[in-house]
Amino acid sequence: MSNFSSYNFSGKKTLVRVDFNVPLDDQYNITDDSRIAATVPTIKKILTDGGSVILMSHLGRPKDGPTEEFSLKHIVKHLSKLLGIEVQFSNDSIGEEALQKAKTLKPGEVLLLENLRFYKEEEKGNEAFAEKLSKLGDVYVNDAFGTAHRAHASTSVIAKHFSPDNKLFGLVMEGEIINADKILHSSEKPFTAIIGGAKVSDKILIIENLLEKATDIIIGGGMAYTFYKAMGGKIGASLCEDDRQDTARELLDKAENKGVCIHLPSDSIIADKFAEDATISSSLSNIIPEGWMGLDIGSMACTMFTKVIHASKTILWNGPMGVFEMEKFQHGTKGIAKAVAEATEEGAFSLVGGGDSVAAVNKFGFADKVSYVSTGGGALLEYFEGKELPGIAALRNKTVNSENMKL
């Protein structure tokens, strides 16, 4: 595999797999362009060298061929603005139009192909489809970290059609791997992992892997109540995965054996319903009254978590502390975002990843105050679970795990 920065793209048609799977509103306006903006340096380097760029991506999960809703044409205008040049678009990915447009593409020009998932072959990792895609370019760059956990045609199968010299990671992929590895393999201690979100089941593997690496694990969000219930607490109508109580207990035992400190939110903001106009109160998290549910960490928990974060040299944050989309339940997540930003200012290395926590740092204005904001959701989670991602493995010439064909 070649190195991106030292590669000369002059005169080369470069096929770049990006992750332009971004949220769109009803009018097809992009509501968060971070994933697109992140790829601009990769694209510009190729153009500046005198190469041309053929971009390929998926958008959403179309089930049955092309639909207006999932067309990548909605991205063209914004991408053109970000790059400062008019981006061309092909209404197919491997058909006559794509072939023609790729063929006549000149140095300095950019072509975006239609959603790869309009072809069922993409998710199946179909060999013939991957080969057809590969014919569009001379060089293959994988810059789609967000999709690196998928063993799809364009993310992994395609790589075998390029010689080792002509396949490489783009700058997004390089940055993601360097920053994630810094946390996984060379973290300065104390290392605090802040894990939130609704479900314990989504986070078991990451917590297990982090028990080998972290000194402290803060657990917030809906998943905290499964832990409290597992310890015999009363959690009222709070979210609880009853079938995960044993797992929660096991994780607590393992942490104790390994000397990792688990911090659960001692108190909660509770509500009489899951709604913006709910009546709210506060309670210790292990004695929440019947009919009430914990929707955010409380002020004592926030103070205590802030202290732990301030004492840390390495911080990983994945998952919100409460229902931060609703104003009444945003204080915990906002407080944690602030604490992570302050600790970073004081010299800690911080990485924020996973759709919701990234949305939270953006919403509260802390995105440029943390060390690194990841573009990965599921991919980042799997990376921190210690899994080999097929999109990364393919370029490193390792075998691809067929399990990851599934969405």
By the criterion CB under 6 A, which residues form the site for ligand 3PG?
A: 19, 21, 61, 146-147, 150, 377-378, 407
Min dist. Cβ of residue 4 to ligand 3PG (A):
21
CA distance 76 to 85: 11
Instruction: Report what 21 binds from ligand 3PG, Mg ion, none; CB cut-off 5-8 Å by kind.
Output: ligand 3PG
Pick the closer one to Mg ion by CB: 51 or 125: 125
Pick the closer one to Mg ion by CB: 146 or 335: 146
Q: Pairing mode, if any, of strands 280-284 and 216-219?
A: unpaired
Instruction: Report what 407 binds from ligand 3PG, Mg ion, none; CB cut-off 5-8 Å by kind.
Output: ligand 3PG
Annotated catalytic residue, options 13, 17, 35, 150 = 35
Pick the closer one to Mg ion by CB: 18 or 304: 18
CA distance 406 to 123: 8
Annotation marks residue 233 as catalytic: no
For Mg ion, the nearest residue by Cβ is: 378
CA angle 206, 152, 163 (to 5 degrees): 110
Min dist. Cβ of residue 375 to ligand 3PG (A):
9
Annotated catalytic residue, options 77, 160, 199, 313 = 199
Cβ distance 240 to 294 under 8 Å?
A: no
Strand order in the sheet with 280-284: 280-284, 267-271, 293-297
Type of residue numbered 36: I
For ligand 3PG, the nearest residue by Cβ is: 21
CA distance 44 to 297: 43
CA distance 85 to 63: 32
Pick the closer one to ligand 3PG by CB: 2 or 147: 147
Annotation marks residue 175 as catalytic: no
For the segment 138-167, give every residue that binds Mg ion (CB under 5 A).
none
DSSP per position, 109-122: -EEEE--GGGSHHH
Instruction: Report what 14 binds from Mg ion, ligand 3PG, none; CB cut-off 5-8 Å by kind.
Output: none
Min dist. Cβ of residue 377 to Mg ion (A):
5
Cβ distance 301 to 282 under 8 Å?
A: no
Annotation marks residue 125 as catalytic: no
The structure tokens 């306006």 sit at 29
CA distances to 5, 6, 103 from 2, rounded to whole Å, are: 9, 8, 24
* Start-to-end Cα distance in the chain: 27
Min dist. Cβ of residue 17 to Mg ion (A):
16
For the segment 341-400, give every residue that binds Mg ion (CB under 5 A).
378
Min dist. Cβ of residue 367 to ligand 3PG (A):
18
Identify the three-state secondary structure at position 223: helix
Pick the closer one to ligand 3PG by CB: 61 or 135: 61
Instruction: Report what 257 binds from ligand 3PG, Mg ion, none; CB cut-off 5-8 Å by kind.
Output: none
Annotated catalytic residue, options 355, 376, 377, 391 = 355
Annotation marks residue 222 as catalytic: no
CA distance 370 to 345: 8
Pick the closer one to ligand 3PG by CB: 199 or 249: 199
Give the catalytic positions in this structure. 35, 199, 355, 378
